[in-house]
Amino acid sequence: MINGIEIFFIYNIKENVFNIMFNPALIILIIILSLIFLVAAIILGIKAHKAAVTTGVEGLTGMDAVALEDFKEDHKGTKGSVLVYGEIWTGVSEDDIQKDDIVTITAVNGMKLSVKKNK
């Protein structure tokens, strides 16, 4: 009588030209598991490729930042420093922004962030 996993190691064994023992059931199992792994890796790779960018300059738009100082009037609007993800950036806004206000990043222009005050 054949019990459980013994079928993969003892029974249905054939010899090839080089006298190496092959078990067809074990080979089929390895092929099936390899295909499952390959399909899963491809699916996860496609999902990762289609995911929205969450790092770099592109990922900053829509994020919240903290004003580190009162924004001062400039010829281009008000300007001040903001902190986002531990980095200090120059923020430009048309709103009146005070120190410690939470602002939302609306655009990235070079090394300056366009921000608006959260309501």
- 42 and 69 together in one domain: no
> Does 1 map to a domain?
no
What domain range is 31 assigned to?
6-50
pTM of the model: 0.55
Distance CA(114)–CA(69), nearest Å, equals 15
46 and 75, same structural domain?
A: no
Maximum CA extent, the chain: 90
Q: Say if residues 101 and 77 touch (Cβ distance below 8 Å).
A: no
Q: Tell which wins on pLDDT, 77 or 27.
A: 27
The encoded tokens of residue 39 equal: 């399909």
Same domain, 68 and 45: no
Contact 21, 13 (CB under 8 A): yes
Give me the percent of the chain exceeding a pLDDT of 90: 43
Render pLDDT for 57-87 as a digit per residue (tens, 0 to 9): 777 888 899 999 999 887 777 899 999 988 8
Tell whether 68 and 113 lie within a shared domain.
Answer: yes
Regarding whether 18 and 45 lie in a shared domain, the answer is yes
Better-scored residue on pLDDT, 93 or 4: 93
Tokens of 92: 């430009």
30 and 68 share one domain? no
CATH of the domain at 88: 2.40.50.140
Task: Work out the average pLDDT over 38-57.
Answer: 87
Q: Are the beta carbons of 98 and 67 closer than 8 angstroms?
A: yes
Instruction: Give percent of the chain with pLDDT exceeding 70.
Output: 78
pLDDT of residue 1: 46
Same domain? For 46 and 75 the reply is: no
- Whether residue 55 is contained in a domain is answered as no
What is the rounded distance in angstroms from the CA atom of residue 57 to the CA atom of residue 39?
33
